[in-house]
Amino acid sequence: MANNNGKRMFPCPICADPREVRESKRGKPYIVCDSCGVQLFVRNGNGIRSLEKLIAEASEQGIWERIVEIKGRYQKKCPECGKRFWVTESSIATSWLDGSFSGFRCPEEGCEGIVKPEGR
């Protein structure tokens, strides 16, 4: 994946935001996501070749557009605490009255926020 300034990019495995693929002093690729605190180092030849293949295929297959779509569909922002979370089965909130779907419950401890479904 390459962005506008020609840098090789790859998604963070936690937040899926694009991160620059850097090169160590020994020429091995690594990725750092400051917002998540993730450091991903690829140490051996097989892993390096696999990463290079993923980077090449991703730019050809429009991975960034797909990630944006997935994040829009499955990552929500709590209206109460403002934190982002991924939708899971356990986050589904239903009405206690009739059991109908009412949104997605924020997983943050102590937060009572519910993200309402779009279009309601």
Residues 85 and 61 in one domain: no
Residue 91 DSSP code:
G
Calculate ∠ Cα 105-107-113, nearest 5°.
Answer: 45
What pLDDT, on a 0 to 100 scale, did the predictor assign at position 65? Answer: 82
Residues 14 and 68 in one domain: yes
The whole domain housing 54 covers: 9-72
Calculate ∠ Cα 59-88-103, nearest 5°.
Answer: 110
Residues 94 and 66 in one domain: no
Q: Are residues 87 and 104 in contact, defined by beta-carbon separation less than 8 angstroms?
A: yes
Question: What is the distance between the alpha carbons of residues 102 and 57, in angstroms, rounded to a whole number?
Answer: 39
pTM of the predicted protein model: 0.59
What tokens does 10 get?
Answer: 């790859």
What pLDDT, on a 0 to 100 scale, did the predictor assign at position 31? Answer: 93
What tokens does 90 get?
Answer: 């356990």
Assigned domain for 3 exists? no
Nearest to 116 by CA among 86, 84, 92, 81: 92
Question: What is the distance between the alpha carbons of residues 98 and 89, in angstroms, rounded to a whole number?
Answer: 19
What pLDDT, on a 0 to 100 scale, did the predictor assign at position 96? Answer: 87
Mean pLDDT by 10 residues, the chain (120 residues): 65 87 93 92 92 82 81 90 92 91 94 85
Residues 92 and 64 in one domain: no
Number of structural domains (the chain) is 2
What pLDDT, on a 0 to 100 scale, did the predictor assign at position 2? Answer: 45
Sheet holding 9-11, edge to edge: 9-11, 18-23, 29-33, 38-41
Residues 25 and 61 in one domain: yes
Residues 18 and 67 in one domain: yes
What pLDDT, on a 0 to 100 scale, did the predictor assign at position 119? Answer: 66
Residues 52 and 89 in one domain: no
Assigned domain for 1 exists? no
